[in-house]
Amino acid sequence: MDQSEIQDLIRRQREFFAAGKTRDISFRLEQLKKLRTMITENEGAIFDALKRDLNKPAWEAYAGDTAIVVNELDYAVKHLRSWAKPKRVKTPLAYFPGSSHIHPAPYGVALIIGPWNFPVQLTLAPLVGAVAAGNCAVLKPSEVSPHTSRLLARLINKNFDDAFFAVVEGGADIARALLAEKFDCIFFTGSVGVGKLVMEAAAKHLTPVTLELGGKNPCIVDADIHLDYAARRITWGKFFNAGQSCVAPDYLLVDKRIKRELLEHINRTIREFYGADPSQSPDYARIVNDRHFDRITNLIKYGNIILGGKTDRTARYIAPTLLDNVVVDSPVMEEEIFGPVLPVIEYEDLSRAIAIVNEMPRPLALYIFSRSRKVQERVLRETSSGGGCINDTTIHETTPYLPFGGAGKSGIGKYHGKASFDAFSHVRSIIKQGFLFDIKLRYPPYKGKLKFM
């Protein structure tokens, strides 16, 4: 698609939006239900595309992609009429007998740019919010997961009027072409570096943005824990999708007193999950392409390998890997790993663990394992992150009841559930007056009126 075709698509979407059809709640509900049917009826094809792109097991394709979108759709359908209804709020006495209302209104034409790691969830979940709020939308899936991108384009462009929402495929050149145009809001999920480019492009048109970025997610492990449960939850959260998740634990900060035991439990858990040779496991994904494979394998050398470390570039396989004796200012601790490599740093005092977290940009997620409420509350009080879990990992990202997003360099704005509707809505504040009577206190002449204030 060239620039003129992109401009024509946006023009047609603006005309569709201006016609007012998307403001009809019944129309929005119909489209959300239609999108749900499209996903459920083509779930097998979606699983196949994710298998080709990432060797993603069907269970992970379901749990990490389709199920989350379907849950978001069900939640939006159930609550949309309530969300879209104007909300009455208090009115200052000076404006009596007026009434004040907050009206959610759609922005217009939205641009949604999705990533490759969960290409169905992270492209379609924002779309749920855009449609629920009454917008038209242009979707740009990631070219790094080509089979899924192609499938989404085929399914959506077949089932929906492209003047309402459409998929535009392509690489960085298409992304730049899209960002050169004026949209009414932009939703981007991806790296911090590209997020800066998106924000720079949006600034030229003063376009509001939601940026779901990444970061180094710390996992602080206190001595007072249930070792078996902690090991399972950390291992699952880290190596789900071969670590290619923006909310995966990126490094462990472990109390020195339990470090050896915890690592032994993680070792056993990896064997329990993936067998003695994870390369033969049907439940272990692969790295998405050679560039990311080379980047991740280069990071392995910045620590002592105490588990894993095996790689196969032909299969883009990297074994679940634990690194010990990692230096805080080494490359493996300076960039988001986004792969199945887990650095381990021990601490003797919780203050040191908190200091390490705070020396880095605010992460998208933070995880705390401890039975102690004082430890839990202290870590939450003295650190900052987009979200996180206590005694678990990653699951906060999967629920429509919790707004999800980053803080600082890990993102701007929130979505999921009602927050998705809000992300794609402009809030209009309206005071309504009648003509029953008129209080003249506010009008000139003002002489002597201050005594009434």
Active site residues: 212, 246
d(CA 238, CA 189): 20
Torsion of CA 15, 207, 167, 406, to 10 degrees: -150
3-state secondary structure the chain: CCHHHHHHHHHHHHHHHHCCHHHCHHHHHHHHHHHHHHHHHCHHHHHHHHHHHHCCCHHHHHHHHHHHHHHHHHHHHHHHHHHHCCEEECCCHHHCCCEEEEEEEECCEEEEECCCCCCCHHHHHHHHHHHHHCCEEEEECCCCCHHHHHHHHHHHHHHCCCCCEEECCCCHHHHHHHHCCCCCEEEEECCHHHHHHHHHHHHCCCCCEEEECCCCCEEEECCCCCHHHHHHHHHHHHHHHHHCCCCCCCEEEEEHHHHHHHHHHHHHHHHHHHCCCHHHCCCCCCCCCHHHHHHHHHHCCCCEEEECCCEECCCCEECCEEEECCCCCCHHHHCCCCCCEEEEEEECCHHHHHHHHHHCCCCCEEEEECCCHHHHHHHHHHCCCCEEEECCCCHHHHCCCCCEECCHHHEECEECCHHHHHHCEEEEEEEECCCCCCCHHHCCCCCCCHHHC
Overall residue count recorded for the chain in this entry: 453
d(CA 242, CA 284): 6
Compute the C-alpha angle 142/193/411, nearest 5°: 85
Tokens matching residue 56: 């993603």
Interstrand relation of 87-89 and 251-255 (parallel, antiparallel or unpaired) = unpaired
> Within 10 Å of residue 148's Cβ, how many Cβ atoms?
29
d(CA 445, CA 31): 56
The answer to whether the CB of 359 falls within 8 A of the CB of 366 is no
